[in-house]
């Protein structure tokens, strides 16, 4: 019984099955007891097949996945960072989150209903950009020269 066709086909819970009485779809669902645990689901081939014997389509699929992921990442970075420093005024949520980050830099207590991790990260971005916490981030205010708002937005 060296080949798969010579081995008796069995469905889970059945002792024996006659392959000639089953349709092609049913034969696909049938597995042998010895080969059921030898299937590599990650590669989509029997575990006895070495990586060198793996069909090229499996390896190319991984390559194309990486290329598509890289292309989507580059496009998203471009759309996120393109002209990010064009407006030099406090815009949208910068009023709130910039203020929260400045509170962390000044070690000033304030109360907010949301968890603090995002605001701590905003404070870290302000610290890395050289901000000293003195700017109040009033809505529509023009950023002073000592605030590197382009780095803060990109961070």
* pLDDT tens for each residue of 38-86: 666 666 666 665 656 555 555 566 888 999 999 999 999 999 999 999 9
* H helix runs in the chain, sequence order: 24-29, 56-81, 94-106, 117-128, 149-154
pLDDT for the residue 81: 95
Q: Which one is predicted more confidently, 61 or 97?
A: 97
Give the CA distances from residue 82 to residues 1, 9, 51, 91, 147, in Å, rounded to whole numbers and listed in that order: 65, 60, 43, 16, 20
Predicted confidence at residue 33, as pLDDT, reads: 45
Provide the pLDDT for residue 104. Answer: 93
- Averaged pLDDT score across all residues of the chain: 78
What CA–CA distance (Å, rounded) separates 22 from 11? 11
Kindly state the average pLDDT of the residues 10-29: 54
Overall average pLDDT of the 85-107 stretch: 92
Region 1-23: mean pLDDT is 52
Question: How far is 55 from 44, CA to CA, in rounded Å?
Answer: 10
3-state helix, strand, coil in the chain (%, to 5): 45, 5, 45
Greater model confidence, 2 or 44: 44
Question: How far does Cα 67 stand from its chain's mean position?
Answer: 15
pLDDT confidence of residue 114: 86
pTM for this prediction: 0.55
Query: What contacts 58, CB < 8 A, 6 or more positions away?
Result: 43, 44, 45
The span from the first CA to the last CA of the chain, in angstroms, equals 63
Mean pLDDT, residues 136-142: 93
The predicted pLDDT at position 86 comes to 94
Token pair 């962390």 in the structure block, residue: 104
């Amino acid at each position: 019984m060296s080949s798969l066709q010579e081995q008796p086909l069995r469905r889970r819970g059945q002792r024996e099955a006659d392959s000639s009485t089953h349709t092609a779809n049913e034969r696909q669902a049938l597995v042998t007891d010895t080969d059921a645990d030898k299937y590599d689901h990650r590669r989509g081939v029997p575990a006895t097949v070495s990586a060198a014997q793996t069909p090229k389509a499996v390896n190319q699929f991984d390559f194309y996945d990486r290329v598509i992921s890289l292309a989507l990442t580059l496009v998203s970075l471009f759309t996120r960072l393109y002209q990010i420093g064009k407006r030099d005024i406090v815009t949208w949520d910068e009023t709130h989150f910039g203020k929260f980050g400045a509170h962390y830099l000044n070690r000033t207590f304030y109360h907010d209903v949301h968890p603090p991790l995002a605001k701590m990260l905003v404070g870290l971005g302000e610290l890395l950009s050289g901000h000293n916490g003195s700017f109040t981030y009033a809505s529509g205010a023009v950023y002073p020269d000592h605030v590197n708002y382009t780095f803060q937005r990109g961070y």
